[in-house]
Amino acid sequence: MKEKDKACITQFKIIEAATEVFSEKGFDGARVDEIAARAKVNKAMLYYYFESKEKLLEEIVKNYVRESIELKKKILKDIDISNEEQLDMIISKMFNFLENKKSILKIIIIESLKAEDRDVPIFNSLLASFELKIKSFREHGLVINKEDEMGLLIDSFFFNTVSWVFFLTVGNKWTQFYGFDKDEVKAKFKEIFLKHRYIYLREIKDK
């Protein structure tokens, strides 16, 4: 195996281990020793690739944003966002992606609550995704002005991102508390979410 490939594998293992530890213990409670142990590397190796815990967290968020944008570019290409079936397909793919990123979402939410006003991970992660969404809307013939942008940003964050994140991070506890079936709750959530998204997008198109 080439040295470059070995380095990539080592960095991946460190990031995966850090994601687990940050999710379980929070950023402040996480210890570099434990991250290194889970990644099966020594501390010197960890610090060789990532000079601090802060750099590790930054890399985790950057990777999440990059993967999210790549997926959205792929699924938004040649898609009619006013078509309910195609919108359902987009939401299903994003749901599956986010469901596999629950640990990262938990980290982003916790650290966002502690962050300074201008350095909030969840806001930073949303911005690039939002710009891609605006571009896609305009390519589909929708006229988006500054007022629309503010409304879309509010919708994207409070009625889209926040609802997804909270459902994926606390949904199982909510389901257990009320004694519902997990699969039925998941299906109903997606159904309600799709209905709201379709209504909102139709209002933008028809304005």
Taking only the tens place, the pLDDT of each residue in 163-178 is 988 999 899 999 999 9
**CATH architecture of the region 1-50:** Orthogonal Bundle (1.10)
Q: What is the pLDDT of residue 33?
A: 95
pLDDT 10s digits, 28-71: 899 999 999 999 999 999 999 999 998 999 899 889 888 988 88
Mean pLDDT of 176-202: 89
The more confidently predicted of residues 67 and 85 is: 67
78: which 2 tokens? 């040649």
Mean pLDDT of 177-205: 86
Enter the pTM of the model. 0.79
Which of 69, 57, 54, 197 has its CA nearest to residue 125? 69
> Which of these ranges, 68-77, 100-109, 117-126, 183-192, has the smallest mean pLDDT?
117-126
pLDDT confidence of 88, banded at 50, 70, 90? confident
The mean pLDDT of the chain is 84
Mean pLDDT of 67-95: 80
The more confidently predicted of residues 130 and 170 is: 170
Q: What is the pLDDT of residue 119?
A: 66
Q: What is the pLDDT of residue 198?
A: 77
Question: Rounded to the nearest 10 degrees, how much is the dihedral formed by the CA atoms of 169, 194, 66, 32?
Answer: 0
pLDDT confidence of 78, banded at 50, 70, 90? low
Burial, 187: exposed, middle or buried (Cβ in 10 Å; 0-12, 13-18, 19+)?
Answer: exposed
Mean pLDDT of 103-126: 77
